[in-house]
Amino acid sequence: MLSQKFESIKRQYPRLAPLLDRLVAYIQAQTEDGQEYIIPKLAAVALHLNDGEAFVLLDLLSEAGVLRRVYNVYCRKENALLATVDSPDELDEIPPHCDFCDRDHDLSDLKVEIAFTPTTDALRDLAA
């Protein structure tokens, strides 16, 4: 059974409730698959939404406390995840060294992507 947070967001946006149910089913499947991060454009493909719609729905779930919005930093060359931070301010604090390339990267060598990750509460509910 999913958290009251999720039920309340569905009550708040009744027209979005069916989509939110599908999105949560997708998040649950990803989580069971061992995927830590929900990427808006992948969720969009899976649910036949456009990127913007998927982002808005994921953002609603993050406002509801079901998901947490994070910023994933990738090495552009290796497409490898280097760091995950909670706010854009922290992007400045990421060490420039890339273990995959074994050298320091400029910001232009990096790619930042917004992702969402289930909160601890949500993970407990999703596993229930």
CA distance 71 to 26: 20
Q: Is 17 in the site for Zn ion (CB under 5 A)?
A: no
CB of 36 to Zn ion, least distance (A): 20
Q: Is 46 in the site for Zn ion (CB under 5 A)?
A: no
Whole-Å CA distances, 123 to 24, 68, 89, 127: 11, 11, 27, 6
Burial tier of 120 (Cβ tally within 10 Å: 0-12, 13-18, 19+):
exposed
Q: Which is nearer to Zn ion, 16 or 75 (CB)?
A: 75
Q: Which of 100, 112, 113, 123 binds Zn ion (CB under 5 A)?
A: 100
The window from 31-39, 45-53, 57-65, 91-99 that contacts Zn ion (CB under 5 A) reads 91-99
